[in-house]
């Protein structure tokens, strides 16, 4: 049987929480979603959470709330899932990429600074920068925040990989150095709602805008309506929104999973540490972990060094051996839709040498040993 690179873990408490909703009066638009949002705020320290049907939707409404238009530019990392760039195109905006440090796959602050200096000369500064907390390790948010104040851009933290991670001792999601942070709750992520995401912020205006955008732009809040009606049935569509709502079934699962997130992250950290201690071939190394940051270890990425082993050969051997390795990610600018001729050296170096090994709570040491044994076999 193939060992997957990631897999959800569902407990009896999770099942019970979902069954409770199924037996209730509300499968959607009931109390479970606001309860989940409160749980997210209590956990991260953010003031507001707006839960939606995917992290992609969270990115979209975050861009809309920040006023992104077709006249604007968004910068993000090329080493990410395409949604980090697509959210700009949904708003008609242009997209560009800031190179990464190939040892971490995180947005390079030095490259960001260089790009901002050049863009300021051409009056083409970004409206929004989206740093990606790749594999669960946070970017250098303090430095990016300082640059945002100097050059006037907004920040969306793409923390799809990083709920449970910490930067300077603070949990990701608290928006200490950003306007909005987004999470993913896809089944291979740290916690899951089946499909789903959330956008967190400390700004009430942004939260209110995102709540409108997730549900057709419709409101029953008298303060947001043009007509002064006291009838309970009355509502108004105040902007063009979307049907991005999360169901109560999903939210209940999310709250149940979030209740044990500390144990989940500890378990993933133990697996990452085990890999670190047992993969010692001289030709391979894990992504560099930065000081003052605690990864949630959504991914365990192995870097295959020059002069040794061919990454594609390792990949094919492990797949043929029943080990579900993966590649995260092909640089977004290489995708046919974007059709960009740029080649960023850090991203290219990472792309040709990276491979993601299986990591999920229930993997067990027997399977881990099998994975390392197969890596040793192909490297020899």
Task: Indicate whether 51 and 182 sit together in one domain.
Answer: yes
SS3 for 82?
A: coil
Q: What is the DSSP string of 184-215?
A: E--TTSSS--SS-EEEEES-HHHHHHHHHHTB
Judged against a pLDDT cut of 90, whether residue 226 lies above it is answered with no
Task: Indicate whether 272 and 180 sit together in one domain.
Answer: no
Q: Are 324 and 3 in contact (CB under 8 A)?
A: yes
272-328 pLDDT, tens per residue? Answer: 999 999 987 777 889 998 999 999 999 999 998 766 678 999 999 999 999 999 999
160 burial (CB, 10 Å; 0-12 / 13-18 / 19+) is buried
- Report if residue 2 sits inside a domain: no
Query: ∠ CA 219-192-244 to the nearest 5 degrees?
Result: 25
Task: Indicate whether 196 and 296 sit together in one domain.
Answer: no
Counted domains in the chain: 2
172-187 pLDDT, tens per residue? Answer: 999 999 999 999 999 9
Task: Indicate whether 287 and 363 sit together in one domain.
Answer: yes
Tokens of 79: 């080493």
| Structural domain containing residue 53 | 12-98+105-258
Consecutive H or E run containing 166: strand 166-167
Of all residues in the chain, the percent with pLDDT exceeding 90 is 90
CATH of the domain at 124: 3.40.640.10
Domain boundary among 258, 290, 325: 258
* Predicted pLDDT of residue 379: 82
Rounded mean pLDDT, 85-98: 98
Domain boundary among 258, 293, 318: 258
Return d(Cα 340, Cα 342) in angstroms, integer.
6
Q: Are 329 and 348 in contact (CB under 8 A)?
A: no
Task: Indicate whether 92 and 29 sit together in one domain.
Answer: yes
């Amino acid at each position: 049987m193939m060992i997957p690179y990631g897999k959800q873990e569902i407990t009896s408490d999770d099942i019970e929480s979902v069954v409770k909703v199924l037996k209730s009066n509300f499968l959607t638009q009931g109390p479970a979603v606001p309860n989940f949002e409160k749980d997210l705020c209590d956990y991260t320290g953010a003031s507001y959470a707006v839960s939606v049907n995917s992290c992609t939707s969270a990115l979209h409404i975050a861009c809309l709330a920040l006023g992104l238009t077709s006249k604007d530019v968004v910068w993000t990392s090329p080493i990410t899932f395409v949604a980090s760039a697509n959210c700009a195109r949904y708003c008609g905006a242009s997209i560009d990429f800031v190179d990464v440090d190939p040892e971490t796959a995180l947005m390079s602050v030095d490259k960001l600074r260089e790009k901002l200096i050049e863009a300021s000369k051409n009056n083409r500064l970004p409206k929004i920068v989206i740093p990606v907390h790749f594999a669960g390790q946070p970017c250098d948010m303090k430095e990016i925040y300082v640059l945002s104040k100097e050059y006037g851009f907004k920040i969306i933290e793409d923390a799809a990989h990083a709920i449970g991670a910490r930067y300077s001792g603070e949990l990701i999601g608290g928006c200490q150095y950003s306007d909005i942070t987004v999470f993913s709750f896809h089944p291979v992520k740290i916690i899951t709602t089946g499909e789903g995401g959330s956008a967190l912020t400390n700004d009430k205006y942004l939260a209110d805008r995102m709540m409108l955008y997730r549900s057709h732009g419709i409101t029953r809040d008298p303060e947001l309506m043009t007509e002064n009606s006291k009838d309970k049935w009355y509502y108004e569509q105040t902007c063009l929104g979307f049907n991005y709502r999360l169901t109560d079934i999903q939210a209940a699962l999310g709250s149940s999973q979030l209740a044990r997130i500390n144990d989940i992250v500890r378990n993933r950290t133990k697996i990452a540490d085990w890999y670190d201690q047992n993969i010692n071939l001289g030709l391979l190394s894990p992504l560099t972990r930065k000081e003052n940051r605690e990864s949630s270890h959504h991914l365990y990425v192995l870097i295959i060094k020059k002069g040794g082993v061919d990454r594609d050969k390792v990949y094919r051997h492990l797949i043929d051996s029943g080990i579900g390795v993966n590649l995260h990610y092909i640089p977004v600018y290489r995708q046919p839709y974007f059709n960009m001729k740029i080649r960023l050296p850090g991203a290219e170096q990472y792309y040709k040498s990276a491979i993601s090994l299986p990591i999920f709570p229930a993997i067990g040491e027997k399977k881990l040993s099998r994975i390392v044994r197969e890596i040793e076999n192909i490297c020899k």
